[in-house]
Structure 1
C-alpha cells in the first residue's frame, strides 16, 4: 500500500505490486460486480477482469486506475489507485479486506 485519503464516504488508496486486473479479481471475490458497457455483470460471469475500471457491490463502488511509477533507479512499478465510495460502515470493512488481499500479492 502506498498512500491513502479518507473523506466521509470516499476512501482513496494506492497499491504497488498488483495489477488492475488482479485488483478487479479481488473486488469480485469480495462480492463486487464488474461494470462493462455501463452495466454491472454477475461476479461469477466469465467477463474478463482486464480493462474493467469500475466494480460495484452492495452499498459501495470502486473506481480503479493505474500508472507506471519509478520509485528508485530504473525500476518501473505499476501503481493501482482505487477510489472506494459508499456507506462508511461498509467501506471500512471492504477496504480492510481488500488491503489485506493486495498486501499479499506478489509474495
Structure 2
C-alpha cells in the first residue's frame, strides 16, 4: 500500500517527531526517511501561497507499508498534525 498526504502548518521537524512517537526511526541522522516495522515514510517540505501574500509551510509525506499496519499509522499521524496546524 502507498499513500501520499500533504499537511500544512506543520514543520518537517515536528512531523518527524510525530512519526517517531508512532514507532518510527530515522534511517540516519540526516535522512528524511522514517522507518518502522511494516511501514516507511519519506518527507519533503516546501512553502506554499494559498491566498495572496499568505505563506504556509507544507510537509508532504509518502507512506509505504502493508495495509494492516500503515492505515492506522497514517490516521494517527493525521490527527496529530491537525491539532498542530490548526
Which one has a larger percent helix, Structure 1 or Structure 2? 2
| 3-state SS of 1:105 partner | helix
1:1-107 matched pairs, under 5 angstroms: 9-36=1-28, 52-107=31-86
Structure with higher RCO (Cα < 8 A, 6+ apart): 2
Q: Which has the larger radius of gyration?
A: 1
User: Structure 2: any 5+ residue segments left out of the alignment?
Assistant: none
If the length of structure 1 is used for normalisation, what is the TM-score?
0.76
Q: TM-score, normalised to structure 2's length?
A: 0.94
- Report the number of matched residues: 86
Per the TM alignment, residue 52 of structure 1 is displaced from its structure 2 partner at its CA by: 3.9
CA RMSD of aligned residues (A): 1.2
